[in-house]
Amino acid sequence: MLRSRILYGAALLGAVLFHIFNTSYIAYFVWLLALATPFAALAVSLPAILGCRVEVRAAAHSVPRGEKAHWEICLKNRFSLPVSHVTCIAESRNCMTGKRSAQRIRLDDGQARVFPADTAHCGRLECRTMRVRVCDCLGLFAIRRRAALSSLAVLPVACQPSDWNNLENGNDEGGQLRPRPGGGPGEDYDLRPYRPGDPIRSIHWKLSSKRGALIVKEILESHQSTVLLTFEHFGSAADMDSILDQADGLCRALIEKQRPCYVQWLHPSTGELRSCRVCSDRERESFLAAALSDPAPKYGHSILGTALGIPGVAGPIRHMHIAAEKEDDG
């Protein structure tokens, strides 16, 4: 644009000097033509400028960490009219790590521009176009257009931590024996006085005859504890990758075992409790979306300093805190 304005300024200056030193009507016509040309060019280009927009698209909705992905920025024109050139700044940001990168992009002839996305660490990537300017056919005027935004989730690579053996057994130590609804056969049972409404088949007749009162044999069954996974949402990018890898692996394994699971962490800045129920793949994806969107600074609020619990769950809870796995130097 600067080059176009310099050239036009030189042409306008030449027309003015020509008009000063030449009093003919041709010099006057050239001067008027030089003055009116920019506005005529803007009027001709205005429908195309107002009818175009810049779009940002990601290669996929989500990709595993380390897999190649890219952004695509393209120009869409509602009236299919030619546009001289469009310039914008494309800024990519990782919502979790806070890492940013920006580059200036020029779009001409409707060609899309493709550049790689940084998938080295987990997080929700956002690509935003800023300072979108569309020029007229002479490149003298520029009109701002709306910015565009797209997102891409860089997912953890699920792994199974060493502590999984403590949760693999369905009847873990946190399990409790509870009355089985409807009764039925079973090795574990409890004896209690008869209550109105108890089925006749549950009465222990032999013991009732000895005690002189009706005694009911109540069948018990083992009840699995609810697993509570916690982790700190702050630290280095490598630590967060390790933590999320383990959390995702545990959630996947617990879903296969049909174990109730909750994941909790604190927002590192506000200290607000984040609690996600994970009992299906859809809920696991919702948990990852929330975890990847929260910032992960170097330091923050620790969940270990709060009272642990699951709202609405009164049964036994088996807690497991996930920490970053450190690589051995040897």
Decide which of 128 and 177 is more confident.
128
Please tell me whether residues 105 and 237 are part of one structural domain.
Answer: no
Please tell me whether residues 239 and 95 are part of one structural domain.
Answer: no
Please tell me whether residues 169 and 132 are part of one structural domain.
Answer: no
Mean pLDDT across the stretch 160-164?
64
Largest CA distance in the chain: 134
Mean pLDDT across the stretch 276-294?
93
Single out the residue in 155, 185, 203 at which a domain terminates.
155
> At residue 330, does pLDDT exceed 50?
no
- Show Cβ contacts of residue 330 under 8 Å, excluding neighbours closer than 6 positions: none
Mean pLDDT across the stretch 306-329?
75
- The answer to whether residue 73 is domain-embedded is yes
Please tell me whether residues 68 and 108 are part of one structural domain.
Answer: yes
Tokens of 209: 């005859």
Please tell me whether residues 53 and 121 are part of one structural domain.
Answer: yes
- The answer to whether residue 125 is domain-embedded is yes
Please tell me whether residues 31 and 151 are part of one structural domain.
Answer: yes
Mean pLDDT across the stretch 80-97?
85
- The answer to whether residue 267 is domain-embedded is yes
Residue 256 φ/ψ, nearest 5 degrees: -65, -35
DSSP 118: -
- The answer to whether residue 5 is domain-embedded is yes
Please tell me whether residues 98 and 238 are part of one structural domain.
Answer: no
> At residue 241, does pLDDT exceed 90?
yes
- The answer to whether residue 269 is domain-embedded is yes
Mean pLDDT across the stretch 191-214?
80
> At residue 87, does pLDDT exceed 50?
yes
- The answer to whether residue 217 is domain-embedded is yes
Please tell me whether residues 88 and 138 are part of one structural domain.
Answer: yes
Q: Please write the tens of the pLDDT for every residue from 39-65.
A: 888 888 888 888 888 889 998 899 999
CATH at residue 69: 2.60.40.1930
> At residue 328, does pLDDT exceed 70?
no
- Show Cβ contacts of residue 208 under 8 Å, excluding neighbours closer than 6 positions: 194, 214, 215
User: Are 223 and 179 a contacting pair, CB within 8 Å?
Assistant: no
Which of 50-54, 167-171, 323-327 bottoms out in mean pLDDT, i.e. has the lowest? 167-171
Please tell me whether residues 25 and 140 are part of one structural domain.
Answer: yes
Which of 46-50, 159-163, 233-237, 264-268 bottoms out in mean pLDDT, i.e. has the lowest? 159-163
> At residue 175, does pLDDT exceed 80?
no
Which residue reads 């009992």 in tokens?
A: 279
Mean pLDDT across the stretch 147-161?
87
Please tell me whether residues 44 and 107 are part of one structural domain.
Answer: yes
Instruction: Report which listed range, 33-42, 146-155, 202-211, is most confident.
Output: 146-155
Mean pLDDT across the stretch 154-163?
80
Decide which of 182 and 240 is more confident.
240
- The answer to whether residue 144 is domain-embedded is yes
Please tell me whether residues 310 and 168 are part of one structural domain.
Answer: yes
> At residue 186, does pLDDT exceed 60?
no
- The answer to whether residue 328 is domain-embedded is no
Range of the domain at 169: 162-173+225-322
Single out the residue in 96, 124, 155 at which a domain terminates.
155
Please tell me whether residues 300 and 210 are part of one structural domain.
Answer: no
How many separate domains does the chain show? 3
Decide which of 274 and 218 is more confident.
274
User: Are 152 and 62 a contacting pair, CB within 8 Å?
Assistant: yes
